[in-house]
Amino acid sequence: MAIQVVSSLEHNALRIRAARSADAVIQKLNALSLPWPANWAEIFGAERPLILEIGFGTGVFLRHLVRQHPEANVIGLEISNQCLLKAERMIAREGLNNLRVIHSRAETALYHLFEPSTLSEVVINFPDPWFKRDHGHRRLMQRDTLDAIVSRMQAGAMLYLATDIVEYAEMSSELLAATPQLMNRLPGQWADMLPGRVVTKYEAKARAEGRDCMYFVYQRNAIPAPVIPVIKELAMPHIVFQSPLSPDEIRAAFRPFDAHEGDIYVGFGEVYRGRNGLLFEIHAAEPTIDQHAALLLTPHGHTANEYTIQLSTIGHPRPTQGIHIAVNALHQWIAGLSEATTVIQKKLAE
């Protein structure tokens, strides 16, 4: 039998081609480009129970979930591009047809992608504790987010949480105990070990460094959950107005500024001159979603000194409440430059 010899260069080339092939097979999913809510049966090609892992890291537990639940569709959320790429290649390499990974914050997915009572299991492995005092609002385990998780769980669905931070465990224990829609399935507030659980890379590192791990197991009961509807995108905002100022005069007057409305923040960073108008760089931070986007100021038709402010399609932003606030804030700033500014047409959410 002839033996084929493959050089190291050929071997590396084969690996690169295989990786590129894997990337081409798996559709890259992002919460900002998926429909709100997502059609999971269409994405997976079959309607099955949904299992969600929030922050899957290296993907070890995702693979475990897929093997443990071949009857379910498994979804992993992650914000690390490197982790997403590794997981996408794993899906293609191992033919894991019932697994998809999504670039998304937990809050964005919970509020925008999942409808109420659709999840049969939720797994949270070693969430970031965000120790600094001013970072507390970023912690996953807090009242609003847990209420959203509960609202997305079916009756009988399981919730698993693991952490190696005692303070985080104590905080989570109080929060979970104060959630009437969840029942503790352990004899104590948490367990030191869970039989049959696969050990993640982070988990092994924590134990090797002498840190104890704490595991929570809760189940959704029949008590009605808080009513948290899916947040859908709004109509595209725009304002048509008249101003005696030219685009160059508006640009010359611009200084970075921000606007606040409730718990929504919009920051205006830079302005750029184009052939026909101006492009304003913005950051819209909402409780469930962050977007870096741009607003356009362009001439309206052929009437002199008439302009339109609208959302640019650069980066495929979603027209959320924050974007509507941004359009209105930009118009208010321009109106403050000249008392002769008048609104001709306005399409904004209340």
Do the beta carbons of residue 145 and residue 130 sit within 8 Å? Answer: no
Name the nearest CA neighbour of 100 among 64, 81, 125, 76: 76
DSSP H or E run through 82: helix 81-94
Residue 225 identity (one-letter amino acid): A
Do the beta carbons of residue 320 and residue 234 sit within 8 Å? Answer: yes
What DSSP line would sit under 49-61, residue for residue?
Answer: -EEEEE--TTSHH
Do the beta carbons of residue 78 and residue 61 sit within 8 Å? Answer: no
Backbone angles phi, psi at 137, to 5 degrees: -70, -15
Name the nearest CA neighbour of 322 among 311, 308, 332, 333: 311
CB under 8 Å, gap of 24 or more: what pairs does 306-309 form? 306/240, 306/241, 306/242, 306/344, 307/240, 307/241, 307/242, 307/243, 307/247, 307/277, 308/238, 308/239, 308/240, 309/238, 309/239, 309/241, 309/334
CA distance 320 to 107: 15
Do the beta carbons of residue 151 and residue 225 sit within 8 Å? Answer: yes
The number of beta carbons lying within 10 Å of the beta carbon of residue 141 is: 21
The number of beta carbons lying within 10 Å of the beta carbon of residue 339 is: 8
- 147 catalytic residue (yes or no): no
Indicate which residue of 23, 128, 248, 258 is catalytic.
128
Catalytic residue annotation: 128
